[in-house]
Amino acid sequence: MNEYLDLSDEVTEALRGGRPVVALESTIISHGMPYPRNVETALRVEAAVRGAGAVPATIAVLGGRLKAGLDSGQIEALGRPRAGAEGGSGVAKVSRRDLPRVVASGGDGATTVAATMIVAAMAGARIFATGGIGGVHRGAERSWDVSADLEELARTGVAVVCAGAKSILDLPKTLEYLETKGVPVIGYGTDEFPAFYTSRSGLRLEERADSPAQVALLLAAKWGLGLGGGVVIANPVPDAHSMDAAAIGAAIETALAAAGKAGIKGKDVTPFLLAKVKELTEGESLESNIALVLNNAVLAARIAVEYSKL
C-alpha cells in the first residue's frame, strides 16, 4: 500500500474480501457540475454502484492525502463553493503532473480521469466509472492540447467505463491516439463510438461487448497476457437522454468560439465549455450528463461483479 494513500474502512474490507469495487472520480464534483447538483449526483452515483452489487470508492486528495472512499461530508466539502473562489469550488483540479505538488503542500484536489486511474491502481481497484474521458482537443495540430487521460490509459491497468469522449473534443483524432497507444476501445451494446451527450458519432468501433461477463473476460485476458494499460468501455448515453447531434454540435461550436475569445486554455477549457454548453442548451446538457454518469456507474458495478468472480 502506498504511504500517501488512505482507504475508507468500507473499501478496505471490500478489497480484502475480494468483493467488487468501483472507483469514481471527483473532478465531476468540484468542476463538472454546479452546486448542489454536483453533490447530489455524486451521492446518487455511489448509491447506484451499491445497488448494482459493488462498493464505491470516490477518489480525491484531501489534506495532502490520497483518498479512496469518501464519506458524505467529504463529498459535500469538495462540491460546496469555498469563500473567495472565483467560479467552481476552489478545489484544485488534479491530474498526474499535479499530484506531487498537491500532496507535498497538504492541499485538496479533485482528481481527473488520469489521477483517479493512478489512485485506483494503487488501491487495487480495476474498474472505474466516469462521465466521459478527455481526448485530443479540436485544433490540437496547432495547440498540442491532448488530455493526459489518453496517456494514462496507455500506461495504467484500469478499465474506464464512460460515455465515450466528451463531444467538445476531436473524436476521430482521439480514437486514433488510443489505437496508436494500444488501448482497446470496447463499444458496450454498440458498434459506434458514443459522443458523450449523444450516442452517435458516426465513428465505427472494431470491438463490441454485449454483457458485463463478456467485458470481464476481455479484461482478464488482456491483463492475464501481461499487457499493461487500460481499456475504454464506451457505454452510450440512454436513449431518453441522448441529445440531438445537430443541436449539441451547434452549442459546442458556439462555446468553442467563446473560449477562444476569452483566451481560455489548458485544463480550464473543459470546465468552461461544459458550463457554456449547459447555458446554451438551457440545462438539457446537464441532465444528459447526470443520466449518463449514473448509467456508467451501474454498468461498471456489474462488470466489477463479474470480474471479481474471475
What's the pLDDT tens digit per position in 115-138? 999 999 999 999 999 999 999 988
Question: Has 166 been annotated as catalytic?
Answer: yes
Q: Report the pLDDT value the prediction gives residue 182, as an integer from 0 to 100.
A: 98
Q: Give residue 49's domain range.
A: 5-309
- Position 74 scores a pLDDT of 98
Long-range contacts of 143-149 (CB under 8 A, 24+ apart): 143/265, 145/265, 145/266, 145/269, 146/177, 147/113, 147/114, 148/95, 148/96, 148/97, 148/112, 148/114, 149/112, 149/113, 149/114
Which residues touch 159 (CB under 8 Å, ≥6 apart)? 126, 127, 128, 215, 219, 230, 231, 232, 233, 303
**181 has catalytic annotation:** no
Task: Flag whether pLDDT at 306 surpasses 50.
Answer: yes
Q: Does the pLDDT at position 88 exceed 60?
A: no
| Domains of the chain: total | 1
Catalytic residue among 25, 152, 284, 306: 25
Query: How buried is residue 118: exposed, middle or buried, by Cβ count under 10 Å (0-12/13-18/19+)?
Result: buried
**Residue 305, amino acid:** V
How many residues belong to the chain? 310
Closest to 33 (Cα-Cα) out of 255, 245, 278, 295: 278
Residue 83, strand partner residues:
none
Distance CA 234, CA 194 (A): 7
Among the listed residues 46, 67, 152, 166, the single catalytic one is 166
* Residue 145 DSSP symbol: -
Find the distance separating the first CA and the last CA of the chain, reported in whole Å.
23
Q: What is the pLDDT of residues 20-78, one digit of tens each?
A: 999 999 999 998 888 999 999 999 999 999 999 999 999 999 999 999 999 999 999 99
Which long-range contacts link 205-209 to residues 24+ away (Cβ below 8 Å)? 205/234, 209/233
Reported as half-sphere exposure (CB side, CA atoms, 13 A), residue 123 has a value of: 37
CATH number of the domain residue 122 falls in: 3.40.1790.10
